[in-house]
């Protein structure tokens, strides 16, 4: 009769020990997260870059005599040289455009310039476009004066995002360097990732989950975000060189349209029309128009080259990831958000439709056969 209280006491003690250990572990995890949180965006972006560029690092390292460390250094330096100049130009353009827009709205000095006289001579749309443009330049300025108090708060938000562009460029540089360090130890990192997934999901599903995460990151980073980023660079640099107003903002619109899988021609065609109306027809404007059309249609060539096969992430998932990432993490979240949300989506769908283990099926069958 005395054994039952003793067993209950031991069970209570064991449960208390488990709760204390769980509490200590949770406290340690919270402290670790609080310390690591400032570097979270950098490490996520570095991990995405490392996973995406690792196959290229392997090919380049093999050509350099199995010197994968040198291959990582070459890729990092090449990425810095190719991307930093256009990124700096676009970042400065975004900041200048937002500052000028805020000053214009706050002072109430917004004016729509009258159209050039040669617009009326355009075939078909020239006369009506000239009339609408002229009417807007004369009568619509009061609308912006009425909306100025409401637009001021939005201007502050845009200014904050513009400041985030410069910080995003710095984060990208640091992340690219960290990605190079990760690629130099790629095999060890792969074994660690597989070991973690095996610990979580077992020896059978662990490698499958690791491979699913890798393929999803490469598919979204290359086939969606990467192509949109390339189009932004191609179009944005041309806008800056041509002196188009708000070139950086237009480049960000190109990036968003590319991630949303909408045609970039929605931005490039009006810009080409504006340039022809403002500067007239000449060799420079013709070359600019041809370049904008080619850059706007470049995704049709890049998608078959870069889009990953075997992973089909719905576009709403990518779009929500881009917009949500930009709201929570600034401009860098525009790139990391779609990748992270796509990985989470693929893992969830894989868990929902995963086949049952053989042992589970046998257990259920034996249980059903019991009298």
**Is the pLDDT assigned to residue 48 strictly greater than 50?**
yes
The answer as to whether 160 is a domain residue is: yes
The answer as to whether 47 is a domain residue is: yes
Supply the pLDDT for residue 27. 94
CB 252 within 8 A of CB 168: no
CA separation for the pair 180, 323 (Å, rounded):
28
The answer as to whether 346 is a domain residue is: yes
Using alpha carbons, list the distances in angstroms from residue 274 to 28, 30, 43, 278, 286.
58, 54, 41, 6, 13
Supply the pLDDT for residue 305. 66
The answer as to whether 246 is a domain residue is: yes
Supply the pLDDT for residue 238. 86
The answer as to whether 259 is a domain residue is: yes
Supply the pLDDT for residue 152. 55
Please compute, for residue 24, the number of CA atoms within 13 A of its CA located in the half-sphere on the CB side.
6
Supply the pLDDT for residue 297. 83
pLDDT (average), residues 153-180: 68
Q: Where is average pLDDT lowest: 17-26, 88-97, 186-195?
A: 88-97
Size (the chain), residues? 371
Which pLDDT band, with edges at 50, 70 and 90, does 293 fall under?
Answer: confident
pLDDT digits (tens, 9 = 90+) for 237-258: 888 788 887 777 788 788 878 8
Supply the pLDDT for residue 41. 82
CA separation for the pair 199, 205 (Å, rounded):
10
Q: Where does residue 207 rank: exposed (0-12), middle (13-18), buried (19+ CB within 10 A)?
A: middle
The answer as to whether 251 is a domain residue is: yes
More confident residue, 220 or 305: 220
- How many of the other CB atoms lie within 10 Å of CB of 284? 13
* DSSP code for 65: T
Q: Where is average pLDDT lowest: 256-260, 286-290, 338-342?
A: 256-260
Which pLDDT band, with edges at 50, 70 and 90, does 147 fall under?
Answer: low
Supply the pLDDT for residue 236. 83
**Is the pLDDT assigned to residue 174 strictly greater than 50?**
yes
CA separation for the pair 174, 182 (Å, rounded):
12
Q: Where does residue 344 rank: exposed (0-12), middle (13-18), buried (19+ CB within 10 A)?
A: middle
Supply the pLDDT for residue 364. 45
Q: In sequence order, which ranges of the chain are alpha helices (DSSP H)?
A: 3-36, 40-63, 68-107, 126-139, 141-184, 186-220, 227-242, 247-259, 265-279, 283-296, 299-306, 315-329, 333-352, 358-369
What value, to the nearest 5°, has the Cα angle with vertex 34 and ends 28 and 37? 130
Counted domains in the chain: 1
CB 231 within 8 A of CB 298: yes
Write the DSSP string, 168-201: HHHHHHHHHHHHHHHHHTHHHHHHHHHHHHHHHH
Q: What pTM does this model have?
A: 0.66
The answer as to whether 306 is a domain residue is: yes
The answer as to whether 148 is a domain residue is: yes
pLDDT (average), residues 64-91: 79
**Is the pLDDT assigned to residue 31 strictly greater than 90?**
yes
Supply the pLDDT for residue 366. 47
**Is the pLDDT assigned to residue 102 strictly greater than 60?**
no
pLDDT (average), residues 22-36: 91
Supply the pLDDT for residue 139. 58
The structure tokens listed for 75 are: 């890729």
The chain-wide mean pLDDT, for the chain, equals 75
CA separation for the pair 200, 241 (Å, rounded):
52
Residues spanned by the domain of 194: 39-352
């Amino acid at each position: 009769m005395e054994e039952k209280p003793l067993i209950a006491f031991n069970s209570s003690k064991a449960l208390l020990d488990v709760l204390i250990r769980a509490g200590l572990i949770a406290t340690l995890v919270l402290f670790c997260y609080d310390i690591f949180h400032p570097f979270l965006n950098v490490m996520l972006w570095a991990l995405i870059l490392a996973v995406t560029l690792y196959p290229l690092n392997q090919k380049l390292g093999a050509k350099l005599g199995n010197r994968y460390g040198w291959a990582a250094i070459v890729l990092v330096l090449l990425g810095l040289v190719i991307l930093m100049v256009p990124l700096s130009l676009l970042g400065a353009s975004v900041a200048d455009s937002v500052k000028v827009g805020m000053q214009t709205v706050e002072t109430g000095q917004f004016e729509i310039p009258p159209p050039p006289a040669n617009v009326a001579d355009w075939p078909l749309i020239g006369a009506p476009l000239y009339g609408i443009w002229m009417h807007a330049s004369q009568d619509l300025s009061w609308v912006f004066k009425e909306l100025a108090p409401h637009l001021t708060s939005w201007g502050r938000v845009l200014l904050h995002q513009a400041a985030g562009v410069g910080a995003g460029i710095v984060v990208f540089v640091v992340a690219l360097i960290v990605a190079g360090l990760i690629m130099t130890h790629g095999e060890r990192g792969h074994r660690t990732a597989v070991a973690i997934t095996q610990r979580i999901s077992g020896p059978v599903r662990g490698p499958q989950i690791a491979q699913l995460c890798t393929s999803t990151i490469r598919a979204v980073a290359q086939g969606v975000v990467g192509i949109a980023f390339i189009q932004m660079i191609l179009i944005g640099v041309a806008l800056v060189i041509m002196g188009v107003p708000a070139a950086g903002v237009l480049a960000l619109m190109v990036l968003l349209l590319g991630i949303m899988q909408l045609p970039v021609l929605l931005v490039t065609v009006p810009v080409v029309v504006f340039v022809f109306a403002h500067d007239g027809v000449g060799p420079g404007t013709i070359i600019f128009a041809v370049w904008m059309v080619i850059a706007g249609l470049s995704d049709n060539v890049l998608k078959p080259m870069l889009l990953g096969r075997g992973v089909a992430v719905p576009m709403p998932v990518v779009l929500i990831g881009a917009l949500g990432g930009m709201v929570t993490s600034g401009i860098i979240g525009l790139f990391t958000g779609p990748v992270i949300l796509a990985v989470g989506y693929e893992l969830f769908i894989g868990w929902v439709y995963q086949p049952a283990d053989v042992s589970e099926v046998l257990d259920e069958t034996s249980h059903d056969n019991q009298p």
